Amino acid sequence: MTATAATADFRIPPPPESRLPGVGTTIFTVMSALAQEQGAVNLGQGFPDFGCDPALVDAVADAMRAGHNQYPPMTGLPALRQAVAQVMQTTQGVAYDADREITITAGATQGLFTAIQALVRPGDEVVVLEPAYDSYLPALELAGATVHRVPLTPMTFRPDFDRIAAALSPRTRLVLVNTPHNPSGTVWSRADWQMLADLLAPTDAWLLSDEVYEHMVFDGQRHVSAAALPALRARAVVVTSFGKTLHVTGWKVGAVLAPPELMAEFRKVHQFNVFTVNTPMQHGLAAHLAQPQHYLGLADFYQAKRDHFRAGLAATRLRLLPCEGTYFQCVDYSAVSSLGEMDFCRWLCTELGVAAIPLSAFYRDGTEQGVVRFCFAKQTTTLDAALQRLARL
């Protein structure tokens, strides 16, 4: 029997039915590829184009040479969990038990995904505020959640608590909040958190708080964590990111903080999701975070970049929207073009050589407001090159 005849005896399975049929390539990958193709200045995807502190690299290298190259504990290196607890104590005045309430994750996205899989069951209702980071909805869909998308106030992107209240029901399992907010750069105040605490008080809903830009809050404000309010700390899973704080997004190391009963469920999923996280990097991060200046000075560092970028944009016909935190600046381009947001981003990239992200990409239904997002986590020379091109607007 020939090989061809033998092969004919086997059935080839049809393609799998997609569990995420509405999901394609992320907008960040699409725009970064277009920027590379066009030789454009990439202010689209949110990553720095400058290096981290060389001392951090040295600390990781020292850990590798010292033989810290095998599995660490599933929950994360004790020294790094203790460092996370100290950061929360220093910045928020909130105590966390490093052994029972903190787990090191393979980046914030894994932390968010694992938290959702641990807490949400098929049919549970989840409230998500839009515009929302693009990993939230797919993770919820994989968990079988019924998602209620609640829009933030158009153009100001403040929470609309009347609409949040209307979205809550006895079946609400989880509310997902992101502050400082990607993509808009808005920041929740203590009063905002108190409003949410009052709404959640009579419910059994958990809170998932994405706080990866916690150290980037400007103009004399400060980040208020969900954990800073006792009523929320008791029901909150807080997610943070070393990559955002220390300019090492490619390392993909984050942390999740939660009360013991929630953390126990989180760890059940985490151990089979990734089990554990890069050992020498955990050693390096723990050593680096022992010096508070490495995160306490981050707001001033990025505010200088924000102010420089905003001053340049002010000379264009783009209308600046407020930027209270993060390293993203949104602009209203309605005075420049009537194109839809995706088409405007393509035009901006191909004709002017600057890559941005359409805000519509952060809405499941593609809501259009004539707004795009720039990332200013770049060297001054990079920002100036982009501003020189945008000056033609």
- Say whether both 113 and 165 belong to one domain: yes
Residue 193 resides in a domain: yes
- Whether 218 shows a pLDDT value over 70: the answer reads yes
Write out pLDDT tens, residues 10-36.
889 999 999 999 888 889 899 999 999
In a domain, 93, yes or no: yes
Does residue 4 lie in a domain region?
no
Q: Are strands 102-105 and 254-257 parallel, antiparallel or unpaired?
A: antiparallel
The last residue of one of the domains, among 244, 259, 291, is: 291
User: Of the candidates 271, 291, 311, which is a domain's last residue?
Assistant: 291
Q: Output the pLDDT for position 23.
A: 87
Q: Does residue 128 contact residue 149 with C-beta atoms inside 8 Å?
A: yes
Same domain, 113 and 251: yes
305 & 199 share domain: no
Higher pLDDT, 1 or 154: 154
Q: How much is the mean pLDDT over the chain?
A: 96
Which amino acid would we find at residue 368?
E
Cα angle 330, 105, 63; round to 5? 110
Q: Answer with the one of 291, 312, 336 that is the final residue of a domain.
A: 291
Is 87 part of any domain? yes
For 93-158, the DSSP string reads -----TTTSEEEESSHHHHHHHHHHHH--TT-EEEEEES--TTHHHHHHHTT-EEEEEEPPTTT--
What's the total number of domains in the chain? 2
Whether residue 185 sits in one domain with residue 85: yes
User: In this structure, are 244 and 333 located in the same domain?
Assistant: no
CATH of the domain at 128: 3.40.640.10
Q: Is residue 252 part of a domain?
A: yes
pLDDT digit string, tens, across residues 327-351:
999 999 999 999 999 999 999 999 9
> 269 with 361, same domain?
no
Q: Is residue 65 part of a domain?
A: yes
254 and 161 belong to one structural domain: yes
**CATH number where 380 lies:** 3.90.1150.10
Reported pTM: 0.95
Q: Are residues 112 and 237 in the same domain?
A: yes
What's the pLDDT band for 114 if we cut at 50, 70, 90? very high
Task: Please check whether residue 3 lies inside any domain of the structure.
Answer: no
Answer yes or no: do 208 and 264 share one domain: yes
Share of the chain above pLDDT 70, in %: 98
Same domain, 267 and 375: no
Q: What is the pLDDT of residue 10?
A: 84
Whether 332 and 244 map to the same domain: the answer is: no
Q: Are residues 106 and 252 in the same domain?
A: yes
Write out the residue range of the structural domain in which residue 120 sits: 54-291
